[in-house]
Amino acid sequence: MRSAELMKIALKAGEIMLRSGAEIYRVEETMARICESYGVRCESFVLPTGIFISLTAGEGGTNTAFIRIRDRKVDLTGIDRVNSLSRRIRKTRPDFEAVLRELEEIEKSPKHSFPVRLSATGLGSFAFTLYFHGSLHDSLAALVIGCISYSAREILTRKGLFLFLENLLAGLVTGFLSTAAVALFPGLDGYRIIIGSILMYLPGVSITNSIKDALYGDLVASITRLGEAILLVTVLAAGVGFALLICTKRG
């Protein structure tokens, strides 16, 4: 396999994993495993927003490339499939076309539909409210509010707006609707409804990965991920707080 072809599949594998929310060490390890399977030395420097990679072939020639990562999500299936592919490459060393075809298949594989994600959000809100000692009525209210806030967030996502604005809107919708639910049904616990409805938006995977990145020595990536997670939580809380402030003043 030529160096340019190997560069392409290594970058594609790293890109899919990083877009899917993989840890930095796992992305670098997977790219190195792919390249070393074909006898090429790989050095990479990965950040949450980009991948630098340099390949050194046996004859001493060096190729370097960079790719920018602009959007990220959590897709554990995609991470697992690329990681498994890299291990199969080490054993069987398939040709360039076969590897690229499988990577493109992984990249284009269908994700969960909006109704499935909406249902998961509603059920998650319901379960979290029960977990925090909310009543059945509180949990049902959280289910409805969680679905509405997720639908509003999805509208911004499809318009291509940035993640912080999506979380701000989710917090606003949750705050307003929870206050309205308590006003209509005084027996409800508004704070437990809010907690159950917003927990689905907390970046738990990002926080966990930032800790793992720090433990593996990727301090720059760790600080970046942790900072992004803190900002997302802050924006979400600001949305809820702003909604409660307005409702309190008008009430």
pLDDT score recorded for residue 28: 92
Q: CB under 8 Å to 186, separation ≥6 — which residues?
A: none
Q: Looking at the chain, which runs of residues are DSSP E strands?
A: 41-47, 50-56, 62-68
Q: Which residues of the chain have pLDDT under 70?
A: 1, 58-60, 251
Q: What is the pLDDT of residues 177-212, one digit of tens each?
A: 999 999 999 989 999 999 999 998 988 888 988 998
This prediction has a pTM of 0.82
Supply 69's token pair.
């990562």
User: Between 24-37 and 76-92, two packed helices, what is the crossing angle to 10 degrees?
Assistant: 20
Backbone angles phi, psi at 232, to 5 degrees: -65, -40
Q: DSSP letter string over 152-204?
A: HHHHHHHTT--HHHHHHHHHHHHHHHHHHHHHHSTTS-HHHHHHHHHGGGS-H
Say how far apart CA 169 and CA 153 lie, in whole Å.
Answer: 7
Give 3-state DSSP helix, strand, coil % of the chain, rounded to 5.
70, 10, 20
- pLDDT score at 58: 64
Whether the CB-CB separation of 130 and 199 falls below 8 Å is answered with no
pLDDT digits (tens, 9 = 90+) for 51-88: 999 988 766 677 888 999 888 888 889 999 999 999 99
3-class DSSP state of 42: strand
